[in-house]
Amino acid sequence: MPARWTTVCASPAEGDLAEVGLAEGGPAKRDLGAATHIIPGMTARKPEITVAAITESDGRFLVVEERINRRLVFNQPAGHVEHGESLLTAVVREVREETAWRFLPASLVGVYLWRSPESGVTTMRFAFCGTVDDHQAAQPLDHGIVRTHWLSRADLQEREQLLRSPLVLRCIEDYEGGKRHPLDSVAHLDLLTASAMPAVAV
């Protein structure tokens, strides 16, 4: 694993691109302030902090089919970080609640910012990859989850108009591209501290 990794964010003043290096397991080299500065034109409100799990088995990824605003969409197992829990605790909880699988995080794939064109809400997603086991088939799935699927990247591309957001395919692209960062780089983060991380605007 390289000792450094780099993300790209836009300057809040000019919208140009600037590289921000992170030492492995350490803080950002410079203070980005609120992560809301990464997307030009965003409001000063901090983004909503979410986590997502990327799990692959024989070229197929675990995804959920969920009902959002009366529309069925596909997404990775994902959700909001709650007060008092770390990012890693949150992603394990969300996978169990939405899929009935136990998720074992192995690496951070990336940190992403996406603003919904419909609601204007900005989401900051921490995407983790790992494995699953201990499936509890009798467990009721979380509210809004209709069913789970194992789908290939091609399957998801065919359903692109039904994806919850562009983050779904972007996370898989980065995962298949080999992007991996140590869990130590974000293990200390929670709902109150996560927004200070640099991220990639999607």
Domain membership flag for residue 106: yes
The residues, any chain, with a CB within 8 Å of residue 11's CB and separated by 6 or more, are 17, 18
Domain membership flag for residue 129: yes
pLDDT band, very low/low/confident/very high, at 45 (cuts 50, 70, 90) = confident
Domain membership flag for residue 140: yes
**CATH assignment at residue 90:** 3.90.79.10
Q: Is the pLDDT of residue 26 over 60?
A: no
Question: Can you give the pLDDT at residue 44?
Answer: 56
Number of domains observed in the structure of the chain:
1
Domain membership flag for residue 186: yes
Cα 166 to Cα 192: distance, rounded to the nearest angstrom:
25
Task: Kindly give the pairing relationship between strand 200-201 and strand 102-115.
Answer: parallel
